[in-house]
């Protein structure tokens, strides 16, 4: 593989474009328009500049990575790509439209992959030009820091597609795990029940926000408590994933905690809006109850 297309230049798409360019691939980055793609690239340039300041990479390596990364106005330019990774907004209709558009220009050997966190890969594959050359490639946020990629094959994904994307993922220096096309794949299937249970515990008055987080952090040796982590992820995103697990499995153990639903209804969705379980507006997060 030489040329990688990345569709969606938000948090994830920009991260995927960055690590691909740093690994030596030519990268074409698109978003809804050229200006959004350029904004994604500007963010990457800032992160790479910081890495140079910290002497993690050389200025030459930064310049070379940025030179390999080209912003394009739309998917029409992606005909030259060996692999196209879609990392647009988590809405099925948007992703389906993108697959239809990019399907018109993709070569008949190119692979199309989605970074979706929750939409079934086999269903998305139906909107792709060739389900044998379609799969899920689930990166973690922030992409340049997190060492894992989950690969998800749909029912029709060919072995050669999985092998090619696995080789690409390893060339980025990431560890690869394979998951079946089941709700939440591996990481969210295991993580979300813990975050949801912390919301149940808080709602039932088992302990305070600070004590639940301190207990899990120190008692289980986690880098941060579950309520802090939920605030980082976004409580709306946590709720969406809980619902995917609940609806996808039909298992009541995945039912969302009432307090989580209430916080999302209140618009208290976490760090991104300044308030979730913590107030994030000051220098340090402060528990809200
Ligand atoms: N944020 C995470 O922690 C995380 C982790 C793993 C996977 N994901 C998945 O990655 C994908 C992107 O998430 P994100 O957090 O980067 O979101 P984001 O909101 O930061 O970025 C999404 C980008 O997609 C663009 N976009 C919307 N419609 C488009 C279109 N038609 N064509 C091209 N671009 C379009 C938006 O303008 C935006 O720049 C989602 O599928 C999400 O589920 C997110």
Each residue's pLDDT tens digit, 214-258: 999 999 999 999 999 999 999 999 999 999 999 999 999 999 999
Tens digits of per-residue pLDDT, 21-75?
Answer: 999 999 999 999 999 999 999 999 999 999 999 999 999 999 999 999 999 999 9
Q: Which residue reads 């798409």 in tokens? A: 13
Has 224 been labeled as part of a binding site?
no
Tens digits of per-residue pLDDT, 128-157?
Answer: 999 999 999 999 999 999 999 999 999 999
Residue 117 CA: nearest ligand 1 atom is 43
Residue 39 CA: nearest ligand 1 atom is 39
Angle at CA of residue 11, ends 240 and 16, nearest 5°? 110
Name the segment(s) of the chain with CATH classification 1.10.1040.50: 188-287
How confident is the model at residue 289, as a pLDDT? 83
pLDDT average, residue stretch 244-273: 96
Has 219 been labeled as part of a binding site?
no
Name the segment(s) of the chain with CATH classification 3.40.50.720: 3-180
Q: How far is CA 30 from the centre of its chain?
A: 17
Q: Which sequence positions are flagged as catalytic?
A: 117, 138, 150, 188
How confident is the model at residue 264, as a pLDDT? 97
Tokens for 218, please give them: 């120190």
Ordered alpha helix ranges (H), the chain: 11-22, 34-53, 59-68, 92-103, 121-125, 159-171, 187-203, 209-219, 226-233, 235-249, 258-265
What proportion of the chain, given as a percentage, has pLDDT over 90?
Answer: 98
Q: Which residues lie below 8 Å from residue 18, measured CB to CB, with a gap of 6+? A: 44, 47, 48, 65, 69, 143, 144
Q: Which residue reads 């813990």 in tokens? A: 194
CATH class for the region spanning 3-180:
alpha beta
Say how many Å lie between the CA of residue 16 and the centre of ligand 1.
11
How confident is the model at residue 91, as a pLDDT? 87
Query: Residue 261: how many CB atoms within 10 A of its CB?
Result: 17
- The pick from 5, 7, 9, 10 for probing ligand 1's pocket by mutation, whose C-beta has the most ligand atoms within 8 angstroms, reads 10
Q: Rg of the chain's alpha carbons, rounded to an integer?
A: 20
What proportion of the chain, given as a percentage, has pLDDT over 70?
Answer: 100
Say how many Å lie between the CA of residue 62 and the centre of ligand 1.
24
Say how many Å lie between the CA of residue 20 and the centre of ligand 1.
17
Query: With respect to CATH, is domain 188-287 assigned 1.10.1040.50?
Result: yes
């Amino acid at each position: 593989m030489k040329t990688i297309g990345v569709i969606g230049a938000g948090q994830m798409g920009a991260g995927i474009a960055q690590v691909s360019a740093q690994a030596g691939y030519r990268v074409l980055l698109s978003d809804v328009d050229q200006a959004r793609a350029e904004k994604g690239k500007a963010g990457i340039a800032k992160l790479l500049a910081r890495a140079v300041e910290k002497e993690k990479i050389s200025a030459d390596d930064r310049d070379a990575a940025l030179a390999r990364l080209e912003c394009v106005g739309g998917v029409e330019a992606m005909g030259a790509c060996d692999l196209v990774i879609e990392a647009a907004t988590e809405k099925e209709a948007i992703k389906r439209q993108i697959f239809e558009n990019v399907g018109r220009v993709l070569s008949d050997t190119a692979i199309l992959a989605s970074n979706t966190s929750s939409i079934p890969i086999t269903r998305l594959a139906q909107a792709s030009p060739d389900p044998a050359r379609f799969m899920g490639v689930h990166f973690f946020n922030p992409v340049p820091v997190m060492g894992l990629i989950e690969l998800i094959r749909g029912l029709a994904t060919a072995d050669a597609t999985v092998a090619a994307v696995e080789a690409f993922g390893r060339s980025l220096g990431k560890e690869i795990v394979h998951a079946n096309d089941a709700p939440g794949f591996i990481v969210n299937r295991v993580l979300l029940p813990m975050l949801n249970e912390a919301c149940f515990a808080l709602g039932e008055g088992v302990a305070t926000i600070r004590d639940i987080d301190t207990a899990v952090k120190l008692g289980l040796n986690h880098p941060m408590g579950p309520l802090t982590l939920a605030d980082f992820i976004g409580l709306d995103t946590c709720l969406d994933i809980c619902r995917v697990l609940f609806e996808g499995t039909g298992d009541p153990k995945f039912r969302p905690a009432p307090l989580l639903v209430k916080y999302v209804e209140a618009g208290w969705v976490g760090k991104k809006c300044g308030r979730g379980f913590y107030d994030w507006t000051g220098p340090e997060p402060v528990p809200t109850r």
